[in-house]
Amino acid sequence: MNKGDVVIYACVIIGAGVGLYLDNAIPGVLIGLSLGYLIKEGIKPKGDR
Protein backbone atom coordinates (compact mmCIF):
# COMPACT_ATOMS: atom_id res chain seq x y z
CA MET A 1 0.00 0.00 0.00
CA ASN A 2 1.51 3.32 -1.01
CA LYS A 3 1.07 6.81 0.39
CA GLY A 4 -1.60 7.79 -2.13
CA ASP A 5 -3.82 4.87 -1.17
CA VAL A 6 -3.53 5.72 2.51
CA VAL A 7 -4.64 9.27 1.76
CA ILE A 8 -7.71 8.03 -0.11
CA TYR A 9 -8.66 5.57 2.65
CA ALA A 10 -8.25 8.22 5.33
CA CYS A 11 -10.43 10.70 3.45
CA VAL A 12 -13.13 8.09 2.90
CA ILE A 13 -13.17 7.17 6.60
CA ILE A 14 -13.32 10.82 7.64
CA GLY A 15 -16.07 11.48 5.10
CA ALA A 16 -18.07 8.50 6.39
CA GLY A 17 -17.71 9.77 9.95
CA VAL A 18 -18.98 13.21 9.00
CA GLY A 19 -21.77 11.63 6.99
CA LEU A 20 -22.84 9.48 9.94
CA TYR A 21 -22.86 12.56 12.12
CA LEU A 22 -25.23 14.17 9.60
CA ASP A 23 -27.37 10.95 9.41
CA ASN A 24 -26.41 9.92 5.86
CA ALA A 25 -23.04 8.23 5.29
CA ILE A 26 -23.11 7.60 1.52
CA PRO A 27 -22.70 11.25 0.39
CA GLY A 28 -19.91 11.68 2.94
CA VAL A 29 -18.11 8.63 1.60
CA LEU A 30 -18.40 9.88 -1.98
CA ILE A 31 -17.16 13.34 -1.08
CA GLY A 32 -14.29 11.80 0.91
CA LEU A 33 -13.38 9.57 -2.03
CA SER A 34 -13.28 12.48 -4.45
CA LEU A 35 -11.27 14.66 -2.07
CA GLY A 36 -8.87 11.79 -1.42
CA TYR A 37 -8.31 11.29 -5.14
CA LEU A 38 -7.67 15.01 -5.65
CA ILE A 39 -5.19 15.08 -2.77
CA LYS A 40 -3.50 11.93 -4.12
CA GLU A 41 -3.07 13.57 -7.50
CA GLY A 42 -1.76 16.72 -5.82
CA ILE A 43 1.03 14.94 -3.93
CA LYS A 44 2.35 13.05 -6.96
CA PRO A 45 5.72 14.18 -8.31
CA LYS A 46 5.44 16.23 -11.49
CA GLY A 47 7.09 13.54 -13.62
CA ASP A 48 4.43 10.91 -12.80
CA ARG A 49 1.42 12.97 -13.92
| Tally of domains within the chain | 1
Encode pLDDT of 1-47 as tens digits.
888 899 999 999 999 999 999 999 999 999 999 999 999 999 887 77
CB count in 10 Å sphere of residue 48: 6
Indicate the pTM of the whole model. Answer: 0.84
What is residue 49's predicted lDDT score, i.e. its pLDDT?
A: 60
- Pick the residue with more confidence: 48 or 11? 11
Residues in CB range of 25: below 8 A, 6 or more apart: 16, 19
pLDDT of residue 32: 95
Contact 44, 2 (CB under 8 A): no
Q: Which domain holds residue 19?
A: 3-48
- What's the pLDDT at 48? 67
Question: How many angstroms separate the CA atoms of 19 and 23, rounded?
Answer: 6
